[in-house]
Amino acid sequence: MGALHEGHLALVQAAIDAHCLPVVSIFVNPRQFNNPEDLRLYPRTTAEDLALLAAAGCKAVFLPEPSEVYPSDANIPETHLGELENRFEGSFRPGHFRGVSEVLYRLFSLVKPDLAFFGEKDFQQCAVVETLLQAHFNNISLQRVPTLRESNGLAMSSRNRRLSTSGREKAAGILKALQQAADGRQQGLPPNAAIAAASHWLHAAGIETEYFALADPQSLEPLNNWPDGNAVLLFAGYLEGVRLIDNLRC
């Protein structure tokens, strides 16, 4: 959706490394914002974005108008997201993933890529993309790219621009809290206890927690116990009025 940073450019590099011709779509999708103010404040830096993409080796940029993505005669089939639509991001942002699936259906239909590169910072969104591809685009393969972080550990995000300098330093505590909660596994703490301790630490740092939970990395089903296999810790919260998300596999 624009306001590009090194995390986005890492997706371009991943495409180059996969011997692909990188094509980037930039479109601030109104259908995935359940908060009109969030849509209004979303940064739009098209000229800067184009310069960054050219330097990164991007070969084509698709900058559609809303009328091109959503013409009056557009036929967008419903994608059944199941519980993905109701858990975590889906619960706190009603309609968000329906908007994501609709815009991606249109973008994939227009661009017709072979591979689609998405960052794991938006962990639940990756699961939504996989569901969409399985339902409608079996010829497109999802490539997950690890989260890129600033030097202090803060997950790169366009929203970080809205944080003050001190806020960006405080927000680095989100990764520390995720790591603290993950350490509870080795310490023999139940997940709820480990997460509660990490949440208390975040609250003391001025970060308001919206959700902080352990989940299955495929289904995103919430987990009350540490599994025998892999899991993921998911976080969303607010600092200085800016909503931030992050995650950590454990």
Q: How do residues 120-167 score in pLDDT, each as one tens digit?
A: 999 999 999 999 999 999 999 999 999 999 999 999 998 898 999 999
Residue 31 has pLDDT above 90, yes or no: no
Euclidean distance between CA atoms 28 and 158, whole angstroms: 12
Q: Are 220 and 83 in contact (CB under 8 A)?
A: yes
Take residue 72 and report the two structure tokens written for it: 């009056």
Beta strand 23-25 with 232-239 is: unpaired
pLDDT at 158: 87
Take residue 203 and report the two structure tokens written for it: 């609250």
Active site residue 5: no
Q: Which of 5, 8, 19, 136 is catalytic?
A: 8
pTM above 0.85, yes or no: yes
pLDDT tens-place string over residues 36-94: 888 888 889 999 999 999 999 999 999 999 999 999 999 999 999 999 999 999 999 99
Tell me the average pLDDT across 102-130.
Answer: 97
Of 31, 36, 26, which Cα lies nearest the Cα of 3?
Answer: 26
Beta strand 232-239 with 242-249 is: antiparallel
Give the burial class of 49: count Cβ atoms within 10 A of its Cβ; 0-12 exposed, 13-18 middle, 19 or more buried: buried
Domains and CATH numbers, the chain: 6-145 (3.40.50.620), 158-249 (3.30.1300.10)
Euclidean distance between CA atoms 129 and 200, whole angstroms: 33
Which percentage of the chain shows pLDDT scores above 70? Answer: 100
Take residue 85 and report the two structure tokens written for it: 């639509």
